[in-house]
Amino acid sequence: MTDPHASSADLAYLGVGEIDARLSEGSLTSHDLVSALLARARALDAADSPLHLRAIAALASDALAVASERDAERAEGLRRGPLHGVPVVIKDNIEALGLPGAAGSTSLAGRASRDAPLVTRLRDAGAIVFASTNLSQWANIRSVRSTSGWSATGGLVGNPWALDRSAGGSSSGSGAALAAGLAPLAVGTETDGSIVCPASVCGVVGLKPTVGVVPATHVVPISASQDSPGPMGRRVADVARLYGVLSASEAPPARSVRFGVAGNWRTDHPATDALFDEVVASLRGAGHEVLVRDVALPGDQEGADELAVLLAELADDLSAYLAQRPGEGVASLADVVAFEDAHARVELAHFGHDLFEQALASGGRAGEAYAPARARNLAWAIETCLNPALADVDVLLAPAYGPSWKSDLAVGGHPGPASVATMPAAIAGWPIASVPMGLVHDLPVGLAILGRAHSEWSLLEAARVIEAVVDSRGGMPRPFWSPPTRG
């Protein structure tokens, strides 16, 4: 079907550069833009909407007032920064004054919050923090049977391309909001795949920066060694502008990028892998040298080690975060488990908290399993996998995920076909991005780009080149808004 709220679609899909230009010339105001996005969100995302998108966790009550303030500042010749008057949505595990920051859990509903440092950077750059986005509850670390995109506070996020399919996880609402034209920019978080996955299956661009480049203070944590907030948008230039603000950095002079391809990192979804090969061939056809090599694949030990590390760090980091968050309520992971047991009809309606229970039993970083698992994990990810793969190239390419899978709360909704691209970057804490490479069966699929620590601007330049190649092949349309289907 066509855009279900076409009256606002023209404003909804403006890029940040075009928004900035129209604001500067006076043909658009931030107040008008925010008003249109609010109307679109209420039409497409409200609880009583037949679309059941559920991408938005909460709308900021001061969004229109801040938009008017930005318009007045612009009229006086004041421009706070590169996002002056531009609406941005943030994942609901990020604290911001006036928004829940609940990580999808009713245990944090109504809890006081603060502006996380990354939110302060957004506001200082002139952005309008417009809304928070729904997510996989607790960033998808609660159960091996979880359904990506579901939270107790927000329900199940739909994918605008096909409403009964997953928007990925755990930054599902951020990816869906961008694809649906509810905001031009979003902030997600990733521990392993949580930006790359929704970016890939929603047909948008996402970047997980090197751990520590974007501050994670006042962001509900999983793992200090792997958590990273990062920018998401519909075009690479928009993501680059947002990354510059979040990282407090500027793009260096442009230079050519040397490409490598992980020839043995496949999704095992034939049409997705074939499309990846076509895009790589087009990249070569455009004059870019692309080196192909086999790259180390993870085995059972690497997966078990990563889970052991994440659960141990979760036990320590989430408890420490909850103990210092303002307001009364749960103050430790053990408190959360007790709360969810006491409110099981809401919190445990579709799956349990088995991973939380394993985290409590792990002993945290002091547990005997943590240190050797972390050492083995880092040695594999960096020395065995990434360093050899990136030895004579700047970035490494692989297919990210296959087409989105149907969501199923009865049996769980874990990802369908995927390469292993997110895992080594996650363990190492190195950057990874996803850029749309086209459609498979009328559903978007992404191309993953990996690089060395602190090589984000090289990844973004590589993403820009790949985006241009995809554009030359016909580019990415807007979502088709397919209704739910049987089978």
The verdict on residue 417 lying in a domain is yes
166 catalytic per annotation: no
Q: Is residue 260 part of a domain?
A: yes
Which one is catalytic: 194, 319, 419, 455? 194
**Integer Cα distance of 137 and 139 in angstroms:** 5
62 in the same domain as 115 = yes
Asked about 91 being catalytic, the answer comes back as yes
Q: Give the per-residue pLDDT at 351.
A: 96
Q: Where a domain ends, among 373, 390, 419?
A: 373
- Tell me, yes or no, whether 306 and 235 share the same domain: no
Q: Is residue 170 part of a domain?
A: yes
pLDDT tens, residue by residue, 386-418: 999 999 999 999 999 999 999 999 988 667 889
- The pLDDT of 115-130, averaged and rounded, is 98
Give the DSSP per-residue string, 135-152: -SGGGG-S-TT-BTTEET
Averaged pLDDT, 8-30: 94
Average pLDDT of the segment spanning 205-229: 98
Tell me what pLDDT residue 414 has.
Answer: 63
Between CA 171 and CA 461 the distance in angstroms is 23
* Same-domain status, 294 and 391: yes
Look up residue 390 and give its two tokens.
């990136």
pLDDT at 217: 98
Number of domains in the chain: 2
Residue 224 lies in a domain: yes
In a domain, 63, yes or no: yes
**What domain range is 438 assigned to?**
33-300+374-472
Q: State which of 373, 408, 436 marks the end of a domain.
A: 373
Are residue 173 and residue 308 in the same domain, yes or no?
A: no
Domain shared by 207 and 349, yes or no: no
Judged against a pLDDT cut of 70, whether residue 203 lies above it is answered with yes
Whether 325 is in a domain gets the answer yes
How many Cα atoms are found within 13 Å in the side-chain-facing hemisphere of 408? 13
Same domain? 333 vs 387: no
**Any catalytic annotation for residue 143?**
no
Residue 203 and residue 248 in one domain: yes
* Residue spans of alpha helices (H) in 325-397: 333-342, 344-347, 354-362, 370-378, 387-389
Domain harbouring 167, CATH code: 3.90.1300.10
Q: For residue 413, what pLDDT is reported?
A: 61
- Which of 50-59, 113-122, 473-482 shows the highest mean pLDDT? 113-122
The number of C-alpha atoms within 13 Å of 141 and in the hemisphere containing its C-beta is 35
227 with 321, same domain: the answer is: no
Length of the chain: 487
User: What's the burial of 44, exposed, middle or buried (CB within 10 Å: 0-12/13-18/19+)?
Assistant: buried
Same-domain status, 333 and 391: no
Q: Which of 113, 136, 143, 170 is catalytic?
A: 170
Asked whether residue 485 is assigned to any structural domain, the reply reads: no
Q: Which of 373, 401, 416 is where one domain is finished?
A: 373
Binned at pLDDT 50, 70 and 90, residue 94 comes out as very high
Check whether 11 has a pLDDT greater than 70.
yes
Around Cβ 182, how many Cβ atoms within 10 Å?
Answer: 29
pLDDT tens figures, 142-163: 999 999 999 999 999 999 999 9
Among candidate residues 91, 107, 143, 151, the one labeled active-site is: 91
pLDDT for position 487:
45
Average pLDDT over residues 341-362: 98
Residue 260, pLDDT > 80, answer yes
Structure confidence at residue 133 (pLDDT): 98
Other residues' Cβ atoms within 10 Å of the Cβ of residue 318: 23
At 485, the pLDDT band (50, 70, 90 cuts) reads low
Angstrom distance (rounded) from CA 253 to CA 246: 19
The band of 10, judged by pLDDT with boundaries at 50, 70 and 90, is: confident
Same domain, 288 and 402: yes
Give the CA distances from residue 480 to residues 157, 303, 332, 419, 448, in Å, rounded to whole numbers and listed in that order.
17, 36, 43, 26, 23
In this prediction, residue 51 carries a pLDDT of 81
What mean pLDDT comes out for the span 256-269? 97
Residue 353 has pLDDT above 90, yes or no: yes
In-domain check, residue 403: yes
* Segment 420-447, tens digit of pLDDT: 999 999 999 999 999 999 999 999 999 9
Position 359 pLDDT exceeds 60: yes
pLDDT in tens, 318-339: 999 999 999 999 999 999 999 9
Same domain, 150 and 87: yes
396 and 272 both lie in a single domain: yes
